[in-house]
Structure 1
Amino acid sequence: MHGRDRMRLPVVELSAATALFSVASTACFPDVEPNVFSLPRCDRVEPRCGPDGDESCCADAVVLGGTFNRVNDPQFPATVADFRLDRFEVTVGRFRQFVAGYPQNKPQKDHGSHPRLAGSGWDPGWDDHLPRDRAELEASLGCDPNFRTWTDGPGPNEELPINCVSWYVAFAFCAWDEARLPTKAEWNYAAAHGNEQRTYPWGEATPTPDLAAYGCDTTNMGCLIPRVGSRSPAGDGESGHADLAGSMSEWLLDYHGTHPTPCNDCANLSDKDEDNGREARGGDFAHSTEGLATTFELGFTPESREAFLGFRCAREK
């Protein structure tokens, strides 16, 4: 199913959300011993994420690499090196720092590249797909009048996942954050916990609302997008990543479609069938349990901006 086939969401008011997450740098949470790895753009992001609202929204966790079968299919073996992956989907509060510096922080040629994948960085030919200035960027974040999470100023949505972002904007944010979009193989490896080949990030248990945010009845005026990490730790992957299933479908580096074989830190960077678009994984708050499985794949045109599309970033260990 492509982005144009997905449901449109009806009008509903977003209400104030609660709690958030834990430490990734001294600037984020100065009273706690800092993580040995500090994200570069976290100095003004409050530590309000996670189940208790006291974790850094910029925290990440190491994924130890190995070999596994993509989409749990022995036809598609892959080897992935160690990498770091954001614990949470990028939040409104974290994205606000990027908006404040836009457009001066647009990516330059080859920024946001995967170090083991030639040609994976920013292509200047994509420049025209980015908003021209800050006003246009902010306007683009209002793709849905009721389920957009962006607000013009800081408020109760800071701990919600940013949505309504195109693949190009997600790429640009990660490049600005001295990171990159994860590959399809990396995301799948983290969600399936490598060669455990999990059906869901938490294991084999049937999805429930305690494990993931999905199946929101958008005809119900009380339907809300939850804060990031609201199902943590029960719904986390083995390496501690929250919302790999549910919340937002997450943009990935690859074109949707084929699985390159052999695969040693591979990505589909050449299958440019515009009908397939770019990959997004993990299901979302508005759709059924089908999308929550680690084997479920979707493609969206990279210009797509939907209330159920978000992202998280990856970087080197």
Structure 2
Amino acid sequence: MMLAMLAIVTMVTACVTACTGTIGGEDGEDGPNAPTSGVQSGDETDVDCGGASAPKCTIGKKCKANGDCTTSNCIEGICKDPTGLDGIKNGDESDVDCGGSTTGAPRCGTGKTCGTAEDCESHVCDPTAKTCKAPTSTDGVKNGDETDVDCGGSSTSAPKCDVGKSCAAHSDCTLDGCDDTKHCANGRSCTQYNGGRSCGVGEEGATGAMHESCCGALPIPNGTTKLDKYKITAGRMRAFIERVNGDVLGWYESNKATLPASAQAQIEAYKAYLPSDRTTFPLGSDYQLGSTIYLPQRPSKTQGCGVGNAASPAYGSHTFHNGSLESEDFAFDQNFRDRLPLNCVPYPILAAFCAWDGGRLETFDEHANAFGTAPFPWGATPIAGGFNNFPDENGPYTQVGPANAGAGNPLGPCPSCDTTLLNWAHTYQVPEGGDPKKPWDYAYWISPPGRFPMDKGPAGHMDIGGLMMEITASTAENDTTTDYTGQQVTQTMVRWSKNGSWEVHAMGNLQWKFAFMTKYGKTGGRCARD
């Protein structure tokens, strides 16, 4: 009996040992199913990770569900890096697939959870609700489709951007001009460098050159009206023509109701002469701004607008570059010419330009007030001079005389005259001598606005004494003459300013007045602002 009982106890002990293994069993810390056993056991998805009891698996380990992974991202049975496209809030995302910086997720839209402003598309995270706010035009950040902080675009109803602010289109800017650097220009016509930001002292690339916008106006002394600091450049006119595609008449008819009465009055009576496109002869804009002459006897038989070619070397200098339209062989390209003051322009298109640019054409009295009452814009002295005799192959310049002596220089040589003060009577050449292969192109005599810092009026208006005479909106009696077709025409005359020109026209002349379709190689214009 004792032997039988001993046998039973031995069998039970053996069974317990065989069935449970080492002491501690399945629930022990070092059993075969423990998460540190070194083998995949129980519901683990990989060795010692995954499942209900083991730690989550790291990247690259096997998994069955997102919950098996530290990244909460189980793809095709493998724990993967968190991404901004996996449909899960993971990494440092502030909401599902948005916010944070580690998963490449985009910023979160309105209403999504955020931790900082950088989590949000709007860059605005509500500090209380911890949700992204919708962009507004008063939140102090650039959001929505704004082009700068709380301005530009359309989605936030933000106002237009001021000068210098970032822009994407002209419509983003208060002055309707987004320049080539994507900043709002200080004038609708100054959105390009050449003729738009190239005015001022010094030649291109020269040490010490100080260039600035060719737009901007200064008050006239003892008045409330402002006059543009610089003469209108060919580049500024080009900006106008390109924006309206040459249809100046169409632009005027569509916008005249919004123009100030003063600007509208300068154009309305002459609108039949405005171009409707660029290249239809004779009134297309590129003909009006080129060598085509409408009144062959005004102001003389030689207007100096034609730039010829080897077969027909018409010596001239119109600064608006119109390509091969008139079979001209230019020595200087469009960039060069765009920097120069506009010339060879009839009154109607000039008045339309100033209206489009936010102003109107200056009057004779406004220009005279900006010039001042002294013999020269800077006062009575120093005395300016110029080279009256045109150089040719037979010899150098001769006859230096006072700038107010006139073309005949009746006062004779003037050893004390200073020829560096203003562009008058051929005192400027860049490049020196022009292009000897194309001597018919006289554009090298014409200085870009601002190159003569002494030539400024009491209020700072540049080139007010020389460079180009200026067409004004002040009218005079009618003139009857012959037009380019041989027909007799009668036109109102407009007055030209009292300053001289790069050729030989003297300052102080109060008599210049010509029919409104007159063009001249030594005459341009300037806008006024009320």
TM-score (norm 1): 0.69
Q: Distance in 1 between matches of 2:503 and 2:252?
A: 31
- Secondary structure (helix, strand or coil) at the match of 1:171 reads helix
Distance 1:156 1:82, change over 3 A: same
What amino acid maps onto 2:190 in structure 1? Answer: C
What amino acid maps onto 1:126 in structure 2? Answer: Y
Distance 1:106 1:301, change over 3 A: farther
CA contact (8 A) 2:266 2:351 kept: no
Q: Which residue of 2 aligns with 1:172?
A: 352
Distance 1:43 1:155, change over 3 A: closer
Q: 2:213 aligns with which of 50, 53, 56?
A: 56
Q: Distance in 1 between matches of 2:447 and 2:522?
A: 12
What amino acid maps onto 1:241 in structure 2? Answer: H
Q: Which residue of 1 aligns with 2:285?
A: 137
Q: Which residue of 2 aligns with 1:18?
A: none
Q: Which residue of 2 aligns with 1:278?
A: 494
Q: Which residue of 1 aligns with 2:457?
A: 237
Q: Distance in 2 between matches of 1:253 and 1:314?
A: 10
CA contact (8 A) 2:179 2:190 kept: yes
What amino acid maps onto 2:465 in structure 1? Answer: A
Q: Which residue of 2 aligns with 1:20?
A: none
Q: Distance in 1 between matches of 2:180 and 2:511?
A: 36
Q: Distance in 1 between matches of 2:423 and 2:238?
A: 24
Distance 1:63 1:31, change over 3 A: farther
- State whether structure 2 residue 421 is matched by structure 1 residue 211: yes
- State whether structure 2 residue 336 is matched by structure 1 residue 159: no
Distance 1:203 1:112, change over 3 A: farther
Q: Which residue of 2 aligns with 1:107?
A: 252
CA contact (8 A) 1:60 1:85 kept: yes
Q: Deviations over 1:275-299 (max 9, x none)?
A: 87111112211124xx223x53311
Q: Distance in 2 between matches of 1:161 and 1:121?
A: 22
Bigger relative contact order, structure 1 or 2 (CA pairs below 8 A, ≥6 apart): 1
Q: Deviations over 1:142-198 (max 9, x none)?
A: 222131111147412221001110011110110111110111111111111xxxx22
Q: Which residue of 1 aligns with 2:362?
A: 182
Distance 1:142 1:122, change over 3 A: closer
Which protein has the larger Cα radius of gyration, Structure 1 or Structure 2?
A: 2
Q: Which residue of 2 aligns with 1:246?
A: 466
Q: 1:39 aligns with which of 183, 187, 190?
A: 187
Q: Distance in 1 between matches of 2:218 and 2:182?
A: 20
Q: Distance in 2 between matches of 1:185 and 1:94?
A: 24
Q: 1:255 aligns with which of 450, 475, 482?
A: 475
What amino acid maps onto 2:227 in structure 1? Answer: L
CA contact (8 A) 1:49 1:227 kept: yes
- State whether structure 2 residue 307 is matched by structure 1 residue 150: no
Distance 1:210 1:148, change over 3 A: same
Q: Distance in 2 between matches of 1:88 and 1:315?
A: 13
CA contact (8 A) 2:199 2:212 kept: yes
Q: 2:236 aligns with which of 72, 87, 94?
A: 94
CA contact (8 A) 1:28 1:56 kept: no
Q: Distance in 2 between matches of 1:99 and 1:29?
A: 17
Distance 1:30 1:280, change over 3 A: same
What amino acid maps onto 1:48 in structure 2? Answer: S
What amino acid maps onto 1:292 in structure 2? Answer: M
Q: Deviations over 1:34-84 (max 9, x none)?
A: 99xx4334333542111125211113212242xxxxxxxxxxxxxxx3111
Q: Distance in 2 between matches of 1:155 and 1:273?
A: 37
What amino acid maps onto 1:59 in structure 2? Answer: G
Q: Distance in 2 between matches of 1:137 and 1:112?
A: 24
- Secondary structure (helix, strand or coil) at the match of 1:277 reads strand
Q: Distance in 2 between matches of 1:152 and 1:272?
A: 31
CA contact (8 A) 1:112 1:181 kept: no
Question: Structure 1 vs Structure 2: percent identity of aligned residues?
Answer: 25
- Secondary structure (helix, strand or coil) at the match of 1:279 reads strand
Q: Distance in 1 between matches of 2:179 and 2:460?
A: 19
Q: Deviations over 1:73-128 (max 9, x none)?
A: xxxxxxxx31111111111111111110221564245746438xxx83421x4222
Distance 1:212 1:299, change over 3 A: same
Q: Which residue of 2 aligns with 1:14?
A: none
Number of matched residues? 248
Q: Distance in 2 between matches of 1:112 and 1:253?
A: 15
Give the aligned CA root-mean-square deviation in angstroms: 3.1
CA contact (8 A) 1:236 1:244 kept: yes
Q: Distance in 2 between matches of 1:203 and 1:106?
A: 42
Task: Give 1:4-19 correspondences, 5 Å limit.
Answer: none
Q: Which residue of 2 aligns with 1:304?
A: 518
Instruction: Using the TM superposition, give the Cα deviation of residue 301 of structure 1 relative to its aligned residue in structure 2, in angstroms.
Output: 1.2
Distance 1:312 1:160, change over 3 A: same
CA contact (8 A) 2:288 2:345 kept: yes
Q: Distance in 2 between matches of 1:114 and 1:241?
A: 22
Q: Distance in 2 between matches of 1:230 and 1:190?
A: 18
- State whether structure 2 residue 342 is matched by structure 1 residue 126: no
